Amino acid sequence: MSLTDHRVLVIGGSSGMGLATARAAAQAGAAVTITSTAAGHLDVALAALPDGCAGEVLDLRDEDALAHLFDHVGELHHLVITAGDAVRPSPLAGTPLHELRPLLDVRFWGAVAAVQHALPHLAAGASITLTSGTIAERPAPGSGVMAAGAAAIEGLTRGLAVELAPVRVNAVRPGVVRTPMWDAVPEQQRTAVFEALASRTLVGAVGTAEQIAAAHVYLMENDFVTGTVLTLDGGALLA
């Protein structure tokens, strides 16, 4: 029930929830490697992490790069996947199929590919943690395909927990979280959006990346938890 001397790989660990998870795991004693699609983002992230953390450039859509990554990283105790493209409205009506298919290339198929390539490198007692989202339970207009992808991740989590046992497989289902993905929204507008979204939760707040990171660390450390989808949304799904 400790991450001391464990090796953790956070795919998508250069910002937001992934970076917070990498920092929390390192502070808990793990040797952490993060990935990003951009070398510049990786350098900035590593400067914000404790000494000893490592980084690799990775595009989850590139299987050769995935194979190289796991060969280079070696034995792993925990794999965490938080990578995902920015969510954008893509209504089924009027959106060509060739534009809809790529919506799941990273968030779903990328996760599948990463797990597949990780398997030969997992240590005894290893864990895998995927990321879905409350969109799986409460879609917004224009998000049908993204909602299907999030729901698919949750089904994958349960299926792999059975298929890969005793490797533990879980997922985190975050609600609205303050991350750099919101930085493109002007501050005044962003504040108004957060206030409106916070009012729709039971706790009256939106989440932080650190709160999501704490959930990831819990799922890594607790070796009695598998096949679980852990919701962190401030009670928004119940409100």
Average pLDDT over residues 175-196: 88
Residue 85 has pLDDT above 80, yes or no: no
The residue among 190 and 109 whose pLDDT is bigger is 109
Q: Which residues contact 94 (CB under 8 A, 6 or more apart)?
A: none
Q: Domain limits of the chain? A: 7-177+208-232
Give counts: helices (H), strands (E), the chain.
Answer: 8, 9
Query: Is the Cβ–Cβ distance between 82 and 21 less than 8 Å?
Result: yes
Residue 239 CA to residue 236 CA, distance in Å, equals 5
Query: Is the Cβ–Cβ distance between 226 and 170 less than 8 Å?
Result: yes
Query: What's domain 7-177+208-232's architecture?
Result: 3-Layer(aba) Sandwich (3.40)
Residue 209 CA to residue 203 CA, distance in Å, equals 16
The least confident of 117-121, 184-188, 224-228 is 184-188
Neighbours of 227 (CB within 10 A): 15
Residue 64 has pLDDT above 80, yes or no: yes
Average pLDDT over residues 152-180: 96
Residue 1 has pLDDT above 70, yes or no: no
Query: What pLDDT score was predicted for residue 181?
Result: 79
Q: What percent of the chain has pLDDT over 70?
A: 99
What's the whole-model pTM score?
Answer: 0.95
Q: Quick one: pLDDT band at residue 184, thresholds 50, 70, 90?
A: confident
Average pLDDT over residues 203-228: 97
For the chain, the average pLDDT equals 95
The catalytic residue among 14, 36, 127, 132 is: 132
Residue 110 has pLDDT above 70, yes or no: yes
Residue 221 CA to residue 126 CA, distance in Å, equals 10
Residue 178 has pLDDT above 70, yes or no: yes
- Alpha helical stretches, state H, the chain: 16-27, 39-48, 63-73, 97-100, 111-118, 144-163, 187-198, 209-221
Neighbours of 236 (CB within 10 A): 21
Residue 36 is a catalytic residue: no
CA dihedral angle for residue 99, residue 104, residue 106, residue 110, rounded to 10 degrees = -130
Burial tier of 210 (Cβ tally within 10 Å: 0-12, 13-18, 19+): middle
Query: Is the Cβ–Cβ distance between 84 and 102 less than 8 Å?
Result: no
Average pLDDT over residues 46-65: 96
